Amino acid sequence: LVAWNVMISGCVHAGQDELAFCLYCEALQEGCAPSHVTFVSMLKACSGGGAPLEGMLIHCDVIESGLQGLVMVGNSLIEMYAKCNRLEDAAHIFSKLSKHNIVTWNARIAGHAHQGYAGEAFGDFQRMLLLCVEPNSITFISILIAFSGPGSLFHGKVIHCYIVEILDNCDMPIVNALIDMYVNSGSFELALQVFNQMSKRDIITWNAMIGGCAKFDRHEKALQLFEQMQCSGLEPD
């Protein structure tokens, strides 16, 4: 079983979703009982390709296996339905899951955020805080995605302040998400301000900021940053 899981998760990581399906079917035909690891990988394969029908088939197998109560499996089901644009089904899984951990909340917040339901995402965020679930980096990134759009600059700033207030040092992915939020919310100046204040930058930081320059027609600034990036020793990708 572990051998099957290694191959299946390997395919999913490599983006070979259909191959993962073939292997999954073969494993079943050989009488192998899938484990929660198998399901997590297979549900990810369905999310990646936006394959709700396959996802539902896997969901049926999950129920048959009796593993549907495991929080990891539930989280993967929520993610799969959210990525297949089926937020109602994701919500249904969420409500039936007795144990919600930080990943469960993050999956829901990210699901709402990516589909433009900023209010829902923020509501989830507030509810998890009320339940005293500690937000982590991924929570903050997900809520920033919710407010990455025209007209949400104010909310984005509020979240930014909140993050600064409760975190003494944000890690790079959060700051990268902040830059992206400001770019998409229409404030090039604030994005640049955050960028300039960073002590460390990775390739995503540079890409986000250079892409931001392009969106605001600041081509000379984009070129300048591009050169600066290479001076800092990073290769463009």
Q: How far is CA 58 from the centre of its chain?
A: 21
Q: Tokens 């919710």 — which residue?
A: 146
Q: How far is the CB of 89 from RNA (least distance, A)?
A: 16
Cβ distance to RNA smaller for residue 56 or 207: 207
Cβ distance to RNA smaller for residue 13 or 64: 13
As a whole number of angstroms, the distance between CA 141 and CA 171 comes to 11
As a whole number of angstroms, the distance between CA 145 and CA 26 comes to 39
Cβ distance to RNA smaller for residue 16 or 101: 101
Q: How far is the CB of 92 from RNA (least distance, A)?
A: 17
Cβ distance to RNA smaller for residue 2 or 130: 2
Residues that bind RNA (CB under 7 A): 1-2, 5-6, 9, 35-38, 40-41, 44, 71-72, 75-76, 79, 101-104, 106-107, 110, 114, 136-139, 141-142, 145, 148, 172-173, 176-177, 180, 203-204, 207-208, 211
Residue 201's closest CA among 223, 168, 178?
178
Q: How far is the CB of 232 from RNA (least distance, A)?
A: 16
- CA dihedral (177, 100, 75, 31) in degrees, to 10, reads 160
Cβ distance to RNA smaller for residue 68 or 101: 101
Q: How far is the CB of 88 from RNA (least distance, A)?
A: 18
As a whole number of angstroms, the distance between CA 235 and CA 230 comes to 6
Q: How far is the CB of 156 from RNA (least distance, A)?
A: 13
Q: How far is the CB of 116 from RNA (least distance, A)?
A: 13
Tokens of 192: 């640049």
Cβ distance to RNA smaller for residue 15 or 119: 15
Cβ distance to RNA smaller for residue 40 or 159: 40
Q: How far is the CB of 159 from RNA (least distance, A)?
A: 13
Q: Characterize 217-237 residue by residue with b for buried, 16 or more Cβ atoms within 10 angstroms of its Cβ, and e for exposed.
A: ebeebbeebeeebeeeeeeee
H helix runs in the chain, sequence order? 2-13, 17-29, 36-48, 52-65, 71-83, 87-96, 102-114, 118-130, 137-146, 153-166, 172-184, 188-197, 203-215, 219-231
Degrees (nearest 5) of the Cα angle 138, 234, 196?
Answer: 60
